Structure 1
Amino acid sequence: MIMKIKVFLLLVMGGISMLTGCKHRETKQENLQTVKTEMAAVYGEVKTSSFPGKVKAASEINLSFRINGPITKINVTEGQFVHKGQVVAEMDSRDYVIQLSAAEAEYTRIKAEAERIIQLHGKQSVSDNDHDKAVTGLQQITAQYDAAKNALADTKLIAPFDGYIQKRYSDRAEVIGEGMPVFSMISADLPEVEINIPANEFVNRDRFSSYTCLFDVFPGQVFPLQLISISGKANANQLYTMRFRLKRGNDSQMPSPGMSAMVSIIYKPEENQKISVPITAIRDTGNGTMVWVYDEATQTVSERKVTVTQILNDGKVIISQGLNLGETIVTAGVHFLSEGEKVKLLPDVSSTNVGGLL
């Protein structure tokens, strides 16, 4: 009896230990290390060119009906946010309901007749000519029936994507024609920035490295940009248009279409230029001097061996090998990481949120 009790207690303790271990592992997976990062920068002067720009919506379109008729409902107002698939306006559907009913009745009649002839043709009771006429007639009435269904569906004007109603051009009870704009709409996707550069900058476009922009309404905040395109042909002013997309960041402070911006183009460094990083990013191990490189796509860190050639008075070191310009490295928390570990970034402190109390 005592032996059975001991065995039972061992099993219970083992189960508790396994549950505790699983819970500990789950907590460990959820509690990611918080690290501070910084981009590897060029030591010394880096060529930068700045140009004024304008924020534009990623997509801006006019919404219009594909059919003619009077508008019976306007369901949204200017400035309102709408979701993809939302009905923003409706047209009088009475005539299109009648057309659909007539088309459906004709479709039902011809379909039944065509199926009968096709069945008889399979028994070689009707000629090939009668069979072909029946098939063609069924195809034609099917197309007419589908067109009538589409016309009825087109009495509702649908938002094609998430976004904002920018302007309304038509009112309720107004009779409009096919293709006449009812609303203009901008998408809720990340906005774009557009600038124009002169020919002397355009010919050096292969040396462009990265792009940022500033806004007067967000003082002290730098917004990174992703290049979308550079026009290959100059406009009437002999300038070349560059389009950028604002990268995802603090959406509560995302610039809006129409805002003015100052875009900076950072050039690639010369081959003999060196890279500087904060000395806090450096970690000496038995295998040499290391830094942690952060991968934005996987949100993980990997160890990288580097060569330090000089320690500067401003708290930075010069690296001659092992690191590329623009790579993101960990500058705080370097002694508590492991290879391939997933981490979360320390959020930027807003200049208007002193102490991070808001």
Structure 2
Amino acid sequence: MVNLGASWVNHTRLLSCVPWVRRDHKPENIMRKRSDFRLGSLGRWSVPLLMAALMANGCGQEAEPAAEVIRPVRLLTIGSDNTGGQREYPGRVVSAEEVLLGFEVPGRIIELPVREGQDVAAGALVARLDDRDYAAQLEREQARRNEARANFQRNQALYERDAISLRDLEVVRRRLEVTEANLRQADKAMADTRLLAPFDGRIANRQVENFENVQAKQPVVMFLDNSTLEIKASFPETDFLLMNRIGSLVAMTEALKPQVEISAASGALIPSYFKEMRNVADAVTRTFEVTLGFVSPEGMTIASGMTAKVIMQIPAGTTGRTLIPAAAITGDAEGRSIVWVFDEATGAVNARQVEVSQMTGESIEIVSGLEVGDRIAVLGAKNLREGMRVRPQGQ
């Protein structure tokens, strides 16, 4: 049994603030029925807890307003290609002449004198097959050719004496020609049992070992010419279009002044020149492969396979285009293209209408509406609204 006399009298005013407490619950009525009022274990504690909560919070106190949520955004500062600047592209060193050497005929290797990293002169022996079967075939074809030649000479004499017709002589002549062709084929197969270096170069690696059986055209060694090296670099679509607008490869070299920096010799810039441009983008990276040539400086060791980067100087006024990520563009209620421009003073974003042009990959060209130095939101543009305060990522 709980004594509710003084406690309920003292908190009558407090209870009156609670809308679900009836106004006719006066203290004298409560005191009159207290002998019939019993509480369980849960009710015994719920009333004092309710009193404490009401006394702590006070009657009629309003909830504090929720704090303003400041959304983090990623910003892009608008620049201008008219200002020019330096650009870098990853690449790798490759040999200008790099081939996989293999036999034209199958067989078992019986001689493989070269080692990886060995310099080999043009015409030097790289590998040799067991040629006994090919030598026997060559002898058979020589015998058949000799027989066909003797038969032709005999029939030619008969034709001169009008003993046979011209038609019969032509049949014998064709047989001779077939045997001569077979002999040439057998002679070439015999020569193909020797694998020779096609030019002065180096053995990059061996694909097989001595005494292995190999098939025709199976790679035996990787052979390359380290005297002439190139750089294979990947260029994004926008820069590839820029280079195409300049003109020829010679004009590109003069305008962009490309240089090569080898990772193993950081800081050493080597002048280079454009040699080739692949006009088909990579299916995965959507970049274009560009080949540049250079001359290795004296005293610097550069080998095929090294990593490098290509550095170019973009002249002022080369493009005059403004490209932004397509995700930064959204639309207003009237269907116009807008971007959200960040105001440094207020920390808020404001919508600005822009005129767009063609897309290049994941970027879109802005014709008008933005100026150099503007900072725009590039992610989550659809979730922004006029005057919303944001926080640039990284701040």
The 2-side partners of 1:237 and 1:226 are apart by 24
Instruction: Verify: 1:89 aligned to 2:127, yes or no.
Output: yes
The 1-side partners of 2:274 and 2:121 are apart by 28
The question of whether the paired residues in 2 share the 8 Å contact of 1:162 and 1:188 is answered with no
SS of the counterpart of 2:265? coil
Q: Mean alpha-carbon deviation: is it higher for 75-84 or for 161-170? A: 161-170
Instruction: Verify: 1:243 aligned to 2:291, yes or no.
Output: yes
1:171 corresponds to which letter in structure 2?
E
RMSD between aligned alpha carbons?
Answer: 2.3
The question of whether the paired residues in 1 share the 8 Å contact of 2:259 and 2:310 is answered with yes
1:136 corresponds to which letter in structure 2?
R
Change (3 A) 1:220 1:122: farther
Change (3 A) 1:211 1:115: farther
Q: Which residue of 1 aligns with 2:359?
A: none
Change (3 A) 1:127 1:258: same
- Cα deviation, residue 73, structure 1: 0.7
The 2-side partners of 1:74 and 1:86 are apart by 12
Q: Which residue of 2 aligns with 1:287?
A: none
**What whole-Å deviation, never above 9, does each CA across 1:275-329 have from its counterpart, x for those lacking one?**
xxxxxxxxxxxxxxxxxxxxxxxxxxxxxxxxxxxxxxxxxxxxxxxxxxxxxxx
SS of the counterpart of 1:132? helix
**Higher Cα radius of gyration:** 2
Q: Mean alpha-carbon deviation: is it higher for 175-184 or for 250-259? A: 250-259
Please list every run of 5 or more consecutive structure 1 residues that lacks an aligned counterpart in the other structure: 1-44, 272-358
The question of whether the paired residues in 2 share the 8 Å contact of 1:82 and 1:159 is answered with yes
What count of residue pairs does the alignment treat as equivalent? 227
**What whole-Å deviation, never above 9, does each CA across 1:145-185 have from its counterpart, x for those lacking one?**
01111111111111122211111122222222222222122
- Cα deviation, residue 80, structure 1: 0.6
The 1-side partners of 2:208 and 2:143 are apart by 35
The question of whether the paired residues in 2 share the 8 Å contact of 1:54 and 1:260 is answered with yes
Change (3 A) 1:161 1:119: farther
SS of the counterpart of 1:171? coil
The 1-side partners of 2:298 and 2:135 are apart by 44
- Cα deviation, residue 266, structure 1: 3.0
**What whole-Å deviation, never above 9, does each CA across 1:42-68 have from its counterpart, x for those lacking one?**
xxx853321111111213222211112
2:96 corresponds to which letter in structure 1?
A
- Cα deviation, residue 219, structure 1: 4.2
Change (3 A) 1:50 1:126: same
- Cα deviation, residue 69, structure 1: 1.6
Q: TM-score scaled to structure 1, two decimals?
A: 0.58
The 1-side partners of 2:292 and 2:91 are apart by 10
Q: Which residue of 1 aligns with 2:94?
A: 56
- Cα deviation, residue 123, structure 1: 5.4
The percent of aligned pairs where both chains have the same amino acid is 25
Q: Which residue of 2 aligns with 1:98?
A: 136
Q: Which residue of 2 aligns with 1:313?
A: none
1:72 corresponds to which letter in structure 2?
I
Instruction: Verify: 1:127 aligned to 2:175, yes or no.
Output: no
2:98 corresponds to which letter in structure 1?
E
The question of whether the paired residues in 2 share the 8 Å contact of 1:118 and 1:134 is answered with no
1:217 is matched with which residue: 243, 259, 264? 264
